[in-house]
């Protein structure tokens, strides 16, 4: 296993739309394990392959208190949604920035697990928000892009300045 580099907003690669995984292979399972290790080390509760510059429809999530309930979603699709959520979100690709985004409170998602088996999951609350957040990454969208253009520009400027100061 290996820790992967997490892309930082406003990196253009975060806007790449992920491709379907045609088959769950050992290579995909290795990616899942590396993503999980990276997410836990960050620390975070969700990570999409897009965030580690792999443009495949793969997500790992663990929103449990004990950090031992890894959920793997390959080629996820939301098949039902209802209600509205009110959670404040953060993102490993936009560290230190938090805010609310309109999301569904309950969702039903269909996906493949790391063995290639199709399953359906009903999620609500934080888990539902996390799944929707990570699925946005697979579509090339970062959560701050739901906000006003002015707020996005300020966040981009902040991260560009931080990068200049590091170099």
Question: One of 88, 122, 124, 134 is an active-site residue; which one?
Answer: 134
- Tally the domains of the chain: 1
| Residue 3, domain member (yes or no) | no
134: annotated active-site residue: yes
| Residue 153, domain member (yes or no) | yes
Tell me the pLDDT of the chain (167 aa) as tens digits.
699 999 999 999 999 999 999 999 999 999 999 999 999 999 999 999 999 999 999 999 999 999 999 999 999 999 999 999 989 999 999 999 999 999 999 999 999 999 999 999 999 999 999 999 999 999 999 999 999 999 989 998 888 888 788 76
Residue 128 CB burial class (10 angstroms; 0-12, 13-18, ≥19): buried
Q: Give kind and range of the element (H or E) at residue 91.
A: none
Give the residue numbers spanning the domain of 86.
Answer: 12-166
């Amino acid at each position: 296993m290996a820790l992967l580099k997490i892309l930082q907003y406003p990196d253009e690669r975060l806007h790449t739309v992920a491709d379907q995984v045609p088959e769950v292979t050992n290579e995909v399972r290795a990616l899942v394990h590396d993503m999980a290790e990276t997410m836990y080390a960050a620390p975070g509760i969700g990570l999409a392959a897009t965030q580690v510059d792999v443009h495949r429809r793969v997500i790992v999530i663990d929103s449990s208190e004990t950090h031992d309930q890894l959920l793997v979603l390959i080629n996820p699709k939301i098949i039902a949604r209802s209600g509205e959520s009110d959670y404040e979100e953060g993102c490993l690709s936009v560290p230190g920035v938090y805010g609310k985004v309109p999301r569904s409170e309950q969702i039903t998602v269909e996906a493949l697990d790391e063995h290639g088996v199709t399953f359906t999951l009903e999620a609500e609350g934080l888990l539902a928000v996390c799944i929707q957040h990570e699925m946005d990454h697979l579509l090339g969208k970062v959560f701050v892009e739901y906000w006003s253009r002015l707020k996005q520009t300020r966040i981009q400027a902040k991260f560009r300045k931080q990068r200049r100061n590091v170099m």
